[in-house]
A and B are shown apart, each in its own frame.
Chain A
Amino acid sequence: MITLISENPDSYMFHTPNIRATARQAEAMGLPLLSWPTRGEKETELNDLRAALAAARDRFGIEGVVTGAIESVYQAARTQRIARDLDLWCFNPLWQVNQVDYLRLILSKGFKVIISGVFAYPLDASWLGAELTEEMISKLAELQRRYQINPSGEGGELETFVLDGPNFQKRIEILEATQSYENYSGHFVIEEMRLVEK
Protein backbone atom coordinates (compact mmCIF):
# COMPACT_ATOMS: atom_id res chain seq x y z
CA MET A 1 0.00 0.00 0.00
CA ILE A 2 1.41 3.37 -1.04
CA THR A 3 0.30 6.63 0.57
CA LEU A 4 1.32 10.10 -0.55
CA ILE A 5 1.23 12.51 2.39
CA SER A 6 0.42 15.91 0.88
CA GLU A 7 1.24 19.20 2.62
CA ASN A 8 -1.40 20.80 0.43
CA PRO A 9 -4.90 19.74 1.55
CA ASP A 10 -6.22 20.66 -1.90
CA SER A 11 -3.89 18.45 -3.95
CA TYR A 12 -5.20 17.77 -7.47
CA MET A 13 -3.83 14.25 -7.40
CA PHE A 14 -3.93 12.93 -3.86
CA HIS A 15 -6.49 12.22 -1.15
CA THR A 16 -5.74 14.20 2.02
CA PRO A 17 -8.41 13.84 4.79
CA ASN A 18 -7.20 11.49 7.54
CA ILE A 19 -4.37 10.47 5.26
CA ARG A 20 -2.04 9.48 8.10
CA ALA A 21 -4.69 7.03 9.31
CA THR A 22 -3.95 4.88 6.27
CA ALA A 23 -1.16 3.40 8.41
CA ARG A 24 -3.86 1.74 10.51
CA GLN A 25 -5.68 0.55 7.40
CA ALA A 26 -2.50 -1.08 6.09
CA GLU A 27 -2.00 -2.73 9.48
CA ALA A 28 -5.63 -3.91 9.52
CA MET A 29 -5.21 -5.46 6.06
CA GLY A 30 -1.81 -6.96 6.89
CA LEU A 31 -0.11 -4.97 4.13
CA PRO A 32 3.26 -3.20 4.25
CA LEU A 33 2.87 0.58 3.95
CA LEU A 34 5.09 2.94 2.04
CA SER A 35 4.40 6.59 3.02
CA TRP A 36 5.91 9.29 0.86
CA PRO A 37 5.86 13.06 1.48
CA THR A 38 4.80 15.57 -1.17
CA ARG A 39 4.19 19.29 -1.21
CA GLY A 40 1.07 18.54 -3.22
CA GLU A 41 1.68 21.15 -5.91
CA LYS A 42 -0.04 20.65 -9.24
CA GLU A 43 2.00 18.56 -11.72
CA THR A 44 5.26 18.69 -9.67
CA GLU A 45 3.54 16.38 -7.15
CA LEU A 46 3.71 13.74 -9.88
CA ASN A 47 7.47 13.56 -9.38
CA ASP A 48 6.78 12.48 -5.80
CA LEU A 49 4.36 9.78 -6.97
CA ARG A 50 7.02 8.60 -9.41
CA ALA A 51 9.62 8.47 -6.62
CA ALA A 52 7.23 6.60 -4.32
CA LEU A 53 6.42 3.97 -6.95
CA ALA A 54 10.10 3.58 -7.79
CA ALA A 55 10.88 3.11 -4.09
CA ALA A 56 8.11 0.50 -3.80
CA ARG A 57 9.52 -1.31 -6.82
CA ASP A 58 13.05 -1.27 -5.41
CA ARG A 59 12.09 -2.00 -1.79
CA PHE A 60 9.23 -4.49 -2.22
CA GLY A 61 9.73 -5.73 -5.79
CA ILE A 62 6.30 -4.62 -6.95
CA GLU A 63 5.57 -5.35 -10.62
CA GLY A 64 2.51 -3.17 -10.96
CA VAL A 65 0.17 -0.68 -9.34
CA VAL A 66 -3.59 -0.89 -8.83
CA THR A 67 -5.52 2.39 -8.66
CA GLY A 68 -9.10 3.24 -7.76
CA ALA A 69 -9.64 5.59 -10.70
CA ILE A 70 -13.24 5.51 -11.93
CA GLU A 71 -13.85 8.46 -14.24
CA SER A 72 -10.87 10.72 -13.62
CA VAL A 73 -8.90 10.88 -16.86
CA TYR A 74 -6.65 13.42 -15.12
CA GLN A 75 -5.53 10.94 -12.44
CA ALA A 76 -5.64 7.80 -14.57
CA ALA A 77 -3.56 9.21 -17.44
CA ARG A 78 -0.91 10.55 -15.09
CA THR A 79 -0.62 7.28 -13.21
CA GLN A 80 -0.46 5.35 -16.50
CA ARG A 81 2.40 7.55 -17.74
CA ILE A 82 4.40 7.11 -14.54
CA ALA A 83 3.82 3.33 -14.49
CA ARG A 84 4.90 3.10 -18.13
CA ASP A 85 8.08 5.09 -17.43
CA LEU A 86 8.91 2.75 -14.52
CA ASP A 87 7.99 -0.36 -16.53
CA LEU A 88 5.22 -1.23 -14.08
CA TRP A 89 1.82 -2.68 -14.93
CA CYS A 90 -1.06 -0.35 -14.19
CA PHE A 91 -4.48 -1.78 -13.33
CA ASN A 92 -7.64 0.29 -12.89
CA PRO A 93 -10.30 -2.33 -12.10
CA LEU A 94 -12.98 0.26 -11.29
CA TRP A 95 -12.45 2.15 -14.56
CA GLN A 96 -15.73 3.53 -15.97
CA VAL A 97 -17.84 1.58 -13.48
CA ASN A 98 -21.28 3.05 -12.71
CA GLN A 99 -20.65 4.90 -9.46
CA VAL A 100 -23.98 4.14 -7.78
CA ASP A 101 -23.62 0.45 -8.67
CA TYR A 102 -20.10 0.59 -7.24
CA LEU A 103 -21.27 2.05 -3.92
CA ARG A 104 -23.92 -0.68 -3.67
CA LEU A 105 -21.29 -3.31 -4.47
CA ILE A 106 -18.93 -2.26 -1.69
CA LEU A 107 -21.86 -2.18 0.73
CA SER A 108 -22.94 -5.68 -0.31
CA LYS A 109 -19.37 -6.97 0.08
CA GLY A 110 -19.30 -5.89 3.71
CA PHE A 111 -17.17 -2.75 3.61
CA LYS A 112 -17.78 -0.26 6.39
CA VAL A 113 -17.20 3.23 5.05
CA ILE A 114 -17.69 6.63 6.66
CA ILE A 115 -17.81 10.12 5.16
CA SER A 116 -14.65 11.95 6.22
CA GLY A 117 -15.19 15.20 4.37
CA VAL A 118 -17.77 17.16 2.35
CA PHE A 119 -16.88 19.90 -0.08
CA ALA A 120 -19.91 20.63 -2.25
CA TYR A 121 -23.46 22.00 -2.08
CA PRO A 122 -25.84 20.69 -0.75
CA LEU A 123 -23.80 18.34 1.49
CA ASP A 124 -24.25 19.55 5.06
CA ALA A 125 -22.67 18.69 8.42
CA SER A 126 -24.99 15.72 8.93
CA TRP A 127 -22.93 13.77 6.40
CA LEU A 128 -19.71 14.02 8.43
CA GLY A 129 -18.80 10.74 10.13
CA ALA A 130 -21.96 9.08 8.81
CA GLU A 131 -21.68 5.48 7.64
CA LEU A 132 -22.41 4.55 4.04
CA THR A 133 -25.86 2.94 3.87
CA GLU A 134 -28.37 2.12 1.15
CA GLU A 135 -30.31 5.23 2.20
CA MET A 136 -27.19 7.37 1.77
CA ILE A 137 -26.51 5.82 -1.65
CA SER A 138 -30.05 6.67 -2.75
CA LYS A 139 -29.49 10.26 -1.62
CA LEU A 140 -26.21 10.44 -3.52
CA ALA A 141 -27.91 9.07 -6.64
CA GLU A 142 -30.55 11.79 -6.32
CA LEU A 143 -27.84 14.45 -5.88
CA GLN A 144 -26.14 13.11 -9.01
CA ARG A 145 -29.38 13.58 -10.95
CA ARG A 146 -30.02 17.09 -9.57
CA TYR A 147 -26.52 18.55 -9.29
CA GLN A 148 -24.26 16.22 -11.33
CA ILE A 149 -22.07 15.41 -8.32
CA ASN A 150 -19.99 12.24 -8.49
CA PRO A 151 -21.69 9.83 -6.04
CA SER A 152 -18.32 8.24 -5.26
CA GLY A 153 -16.82 11.67 -4.56
CA GLU A 154 -14.14 11.28 -7.22
CA GLY A 155 -14.56 14.92 -8.18
CA GLY A 156 -13.71 15.93 -4.61
CA GLU A 157 -17.35 16.49 -3.62
CA LEU A 158 -16.89 14.20 -0.63
CA GLU A 159 -14.19 12.01 0.88
CA THR A 160 -14.44 8.68 2.68
CA PHE A 161 -12.52 6.44 5.05
CA VAL A 162 -12.79 2.64 5.21
CA LEU A 163 -13.05 1.11 8.67
CA ASP A 164 -13.60 -2.53 7.72
CA GLY A 165 -13.95 -4.83 4.75
CA PRO A 166 -13.63 -8.41 3.58
CA ASN A 167 -9.88 -7.91 3.08
CA PHE A 168 -9.41 -6.50 6.60
CA GLN A 169 -7.97 -8.92 9.15
CA LYS A 170 -8.98 -6.53 11.91
CA ARG A 171 -11.50 -3.69 11.93
CA ILE A 172 -10.83 -0.09 12.87
CA GLU A 173 -12.74 1.43 15.76
CA ILE A 174 -12.78 5.20 16.12
CA LEU A 175 -12.29 6.29 19.74
CA GLU A 176 -12.20 10.04 19.27
CA ALA A 177 -12.97 12.36 16.39
CA THR A 178 -13.54 16.06 15.83
CA GLN A 179 -15.33 17.83 13.05
CA SER A 180 -15.56 21.26 11.50
CA TYR A 181 -18.05 22.61 8.98
CA GLU A 182 -18.71 25.90 7.24
CA ASN A 183 -20.28 26.85 3.88
CA TYR A 184 -20.66 23.32 2.54
CA SER A 185 -17.10 22.41 3.45
CA GLY A 186 -16.41 20.13 6.37
CA HIS A 187 -13.92 17.67 7.80
CA PHE A 188 -14.35 14.64 10.06
CA VAL A 189 -10.95 14.17 11.66
CA ILE A 190 -10.08 10.86 13.32
CA GLU A 191 -8.06 11.78 16.42
CA GLU A 192 -7.77 8.37 18.03
CA MET A 193 -8.54 4.87 16.84
CA ARG A 194 -7.68 1.26 17.55
CA LEU A 195 -7.70 -2.09 15.79
CA VAL A 196 -10.24 -4.62 16.99
CA GLU A 197 -10.22 -8.39 16.42
CA LYS A 198 -13.00 -9.61 14.09
Chain B
Amino acid sequence: MILLVDLCFEVKSLSGYEFVDPIADALDRAGFPYRVTHYTEIRENEVGMCDGIILCGTALNDNAYAGHIESFDWIKICEKPILGICAGMQVIGAVFGGCIISQPAIGLQKIKIVNDSPLLGEPREIEGYHLHNFGVSLPDGFQILAGTPEQVDAFRHNVKPVYGIVFHPEVRNKWIIERFAALRY
Protein backbone atom coordinates (compact mmCIF):
# COMPACT_ATOMS: atom_id res chain seq x y z
CA MET B 1 0.00 0.00 0.00
CA ILE B 2 1.26 3.47 -0.91
CA LEU B 3 0.52 6.23 1.59
CA LEU B 4 -0.39 9.48 -0.17
CA VAL B 5 0.19 12.46 2.08
CA ASP B 6 -1.99 15.47 1.26
CA LEU B 7 -0.02 18.68 1.90
CA CYS B 8 -2.84 21.10 1.04
CA PHE B 9 -3.80 23.91 3.42
CA GLU B 10 -6.74 22.01 4.93
CA VAL B 11 -8.26 18.54 5.06
CA LYS B 12 -10.36 17.76 1.96
CA SER B 13 -9.57 21.09 0.31
CA LEU B 14 -10.63 21.93 -3.24
CA SER B 15 -6.95 21.54 -4.21
CA GLY B 16 -7.04 17.85 -3.33
CA TYR B 17 -8.79 17.09 -6.62
CA GLU B 18 -5.86 18.66 -8.44
CA PHE B 19 -2.83 17.55 -6.46
CA VAL B 20 -3.80 14.28 -4.75
CA ASP B 21 -6.48 12.61 -6.88
CA PRO B 22 -4.42 12.46 -10.12
CA ILE B 23 -1.66 10.60 -8.25
CA ALA B 24 -4.17 8.29 -6.60
CA ASP B 25 -5.71 7.63 -10.03
CA ALA B 26 -2.30 6.87 -11.57
CA LEU B 27 -1.59 4.37 -8.78
CA ASP B 28 -5.04 2.82 -9.05
CA ARG B 29 -4.78 2.34 -12.82
CA ALA B 30 -1.36 0.75 -12.41
CA GLY B 31 -2.75 -1.67 -9.80
CA PHE B 32 -1.12 -0.21 -6.68
CA PRO B 33 -3.37 0.13 -3.60
CA TYR B 34 -3.13 3.46 -1.82
CA ARG B 35 -4.44 5.39 1.15
CA VAL B 36 -4.74 9.18 1.50
CA THR B 37 -3.92 11.02 4.73
CA HIS B 38 -3.59 14.74 5.40
CA TYR B 39 -0.18 15.71 6.82
CA THR B 40 -1.78 17.04 10.01
CA GLU B 41 -3.44 13.67 10.66
CA ILE B 42 -0.69 11.20 9.83
CA ARG B 43 -0.17 8.42 12.40
CA GLU B 44 2.87 6.31 13.12
CA ASN B 45 1.13 3.04 12.35
CA GLU B 46 0.12 4.33 8.90
CA VAL B 47 3.76 4.87 8.04
CA GLY B 48 4.63 1.46 9.45
CA MET B 49 1.99 -0.34 7.40
CA CYS B 50 2.74 1.15 3.99
CA ASP B 51 5.24 0.11 1.31
CA GLY B 52 6.07 3.66 0.28
CA ILE B 53 5.04 7.25 0.86
CA ILE B 54 4.30 10.04 -1.62
CA LEU B 55 4.16 13.64 -0.38
CA CYS B 56 1.89 15.46 -2.84
CA GLY B 57 2.08 19.04 -4.15
CA THR B 58 -0.07 22.06 -3.39
CA ALA B 59 -1.58 25.05 -5.20
CA LEU B 60 0.68 27.98 -6.07
CA ASN B 61 -0.83 30.13 -3.31
CA ASP B 62 -0.67 27.37 -0.73
CA ASN B 63 2.52 27.45 1.33
CA ALA B 64 0.94 26.53 4.68
CA TYR B 65 3.02 23.33 4.86
CA ALA B 66 6.23 25.41 5.00
CA GLY B 67 5.12 26.79 8.36
CA HIS B 68 4.72 23.29 9.79
CA ILE B 69 7.94 21.54 8.84
CA GLU B 70 8.09 20.02 12.33
CA SER B 71 5.01 17.97 11.35
CA PHE B 72 7.30 16.05 9.03
CA ASP B 73 10.08 15.13 11.48
CA TRP B 74 9.07 11.46 11.06
CA ILE B 75 10.69 11.56 7.61
CA LYS B 76 14.15 11.68 9.20
CA ILE B 77 13.77 8.25 10.82
CA CYS B 78 11.52 6.64 8.22
CA GLU B 79 13.09 3.68 6.38
CA LYS B 80 10.35 3.36 3.74
CA PRO B 81 10.75 4.72 0.20
CA ILE B 82 9.56 8.33 0.06
CA LEU B 83 8.82 10.49 -2.97
CA GLY B 84 8.22 14.21 -2.49
CA ILE B 85 6.50 16.02 -5.35
CA CYS B 86 6.93 19.81 -5.60
CA ALA B 87 5.86 20.99 -2.11
CA GLY B 88 6.68 17.46 -0.94
CA MET B 89 10.23 17.84 -2.27
CA GLN B 90 10.56 21.17 -0.46
CA VAL B 91 9.46 19.51 2.78
CA ILE B 92 11.99 16.67 2.40
CA GLY B 93 14.73 19.16 1.64
CA ALA B 94 13.83 21.35 4.61
CA VAL B 95 13.62 18.36 6.99
CA PHE B 96 17.17 17.37 6.04
CA GLY B 97 18.55 20.89 6.39
CA GLY B 98 18.01 22.45 2.97
CA CYS B 99 16.47 25.89 2.43
CA ILE B 100 13.17 26.59 0.68
CA ILE B 101 14.03 29.22 -1.94
CA SER B 102 12.21 31.33 -4.51
CA GLN B 103 12.14 29.39 -7.78
CA PRO B 104 8.99 30.25 -9.74
CA ALA B 105 8.09 28.16 -12.80
CA ILE B 106 4.81 27.32 -14.54
CA GLY B 107 4.33 25.09 -17.58
CA LEU B 108 6.19 22.43 -19.54
CA GLN B 109 9.98 22.68 -19.43
CA LYS B 110 12.92 20.49 -20.37
CA ILE B 111 14.27 18.45 -17.43
CA LYS B 112 17.88 17.34 -17.69
CA ILE B 113 18.45 14.07 -15.81
CA VAL B 114 22.12 14.12 -14.86
CA ASN B 115 22.56 11.01 -12.67
CA ASP B 116 21.29 7.45 -13.03
CA SER B 117 18.74 6.26 -10.43
CA PRO B 118 16.08 3.58 -9.97
CA LEU B 119 13.44 6.33 -10.09
CA LEU B 120 14.30 8.42 -13.16
CA GLY B 121 16.58 6.02 -15.02
CA GLU B 122 19.65 6.98 -16.98
CA PRO B 123 20.77 10.54 -17.84
CA ARG B 124 18.72 12.09 -20.66
CA GLU B 125 16.33 14.95 -21.25
CA ILE B 126 12.59 14.71 -20.60
CA GLU B 127 9.78 17.27 -20.53
CA GLY B 128 8.05 17.97 -17.22
CA TYR B 129 5.20 20.17 -15.95
CA HIS B 130 6.25 22.78 -13.40
CA LEU B 131 3.85 24.55 -11.08
CA HIS B 132 5.65 26.18 -8.17
CA ASN B 133 6.81 29.44 -6.68
CA PHE B 134 9.49 27.75 -4.57
CA GLY B 135 12.17 25.10 -4.80
CA VAL B 136 14.69 23.81 -2.28
CA SER B 137 18.47 23.82 -2.01
CA LEU B 138 20.30 20.48 -2.01
CA PRO B 139 20.66 19.26 1.58
CA ASP B 140 23.84 17.57 2.81
CA GLY B 141 23.69 13.85 2.17
CA PHE B 142 21.69 14.19 -1.06
CA GLN B 143 22.69 14.06 -4.72
CA ILE B 144 21.17 15.80 -7.72
CA LEU B 145 19.28 13.55 -10.12
CA ALA B 146 18.03 16.30 -12.44
CA GLY B 147 18.78 19.99 -12.91
CA THR B 148 21.70 22.02 -11.55
CA PRO B 149 22.94 23.01 -8.07
CA GLU B 150 21.22 26.37 -8.60
CA GLN B 151 17.93 24.80 -9.67
CA VAL B 152 17.47 21.27 -8.37
CA ASP B 153 14.71 19.55 -10.37
CA ALA B 154 15.15 16.17 -8.66
CA PHE B 155 17.28 14.73 -5.87
CA ARG B 156 17.76 11.57 -3.84
CA HIS B 157 19.25 10.74 -0.47
CA ASN B 158 22.69 9.14 -0.75
CA VAL B 159 21.69 6.14 1.39
CA LYS B 160 17.93 6.07 1.96
CA PRO B 161 15.31 5.55 -0.76
CA VAL B 162 14.17 9.15 -0.39
CA TYR B 163 13.47 11.14 -3.57
CA GLY B 164 12.23 14.59 -4.45
CA ILE B 165 11.08 15.99 -7.79
CA VAL B 166 10.02 19.59 -8.20
CA PHE B 167 7.93 19.04 -11.35
CA HIS B 168 4.57 17.23 -11.38
CA PRO B 169 4.86 13.64 -12.66
CA GLU B 170 1.07 13.24 -12.69
CA VAL B 171 1.16 15.41 -15.83
CA ARG B 172 2.76 13.67 -18.83
CA ASN B 173 5.10 11.56 -16.64
CA LYS B 174 2.91 9.08 -14.76
CA TRP B 175 5.61 6.46 -15.34
CA ILE B 176 7.60 8.09 -12.52
CA ILE B 177 4.75 7.45 -10.05
CA GLU B 178 4.43 3.85 -11.24
CA ARG B 179 8.18 3.30 -11.05
CA PHE B 180 8.30 4.69 -7.50
CA ALA B 181 5.41 2.45 -6.41
CA ALA B 182 7.25 -0.56 -7.78
CA LEU B 183 10.48 0.21 -5.87
CA ARG B 184 11.31 -2.42 -3.28
CA TYR B 185 14.00 -2.19 -0.64
Binding site for B on A (CB under 8 A): 64, 66, 73, 77, 80-81, 83-84, 87-98
Contacts and interface: CB of A to CB of B under 8 A. Distances in A.
A90 B14 CA distance: 10
Contact of A73 (B17, B59, B61, B108): B108
Interface string B60-75: 1110000000000000
B129 interface: yes
25 contacts: A73-B107, A73-B108, A77-B106, A77-B107, A77-B108, A77-B131, A80-B131, A81-B106, A81-B107, A84-B61, A84-B104, A84-B133, A87-B61, A89-B62, A90-B60, A91-B18, A92-B17, A93-B17, A94-B17, A96-B21, A96-B22, A96-B25, A96-B170, A97-B21, A97-B25
Contact count band on B: 20 to 34
A77 B18 CA distance: 13
Given A91-B15, A95-B17, A80 B25 contact: no
B171 interface: yes
Contact of B60 (A83, A94, A97): A83
Contacts of A77: 106-108, 129, 131
B129 A98 contact: no
A182 B161 CA distance: 58
Q: Please give me the 3 A-B residue pairs with the lowest Cβ-Cβ distance, nearest first.
A: A96-B22, A77-B107, A93-B17
B171 A92 contact: no
A84 B106 contact: yes
Contacts, number: 55
Interface of B: 14-15, 17-18, 21-22, 25, 59-62, 104, 106-108, 129, 131, 133, 170-172
A165 B17 CA distance: 20
A29 to B, nearest CB: 18
- Greatest chain A CB density within 10 A among B14, B61, B171 is at B61
Contact of B59 (A81, A91, A97): A91
B129 A73 contact: yes
Contacts of B14: 66, 91, 93
A97 B28 CA distance: 13
A84 B25 CA distance: 27
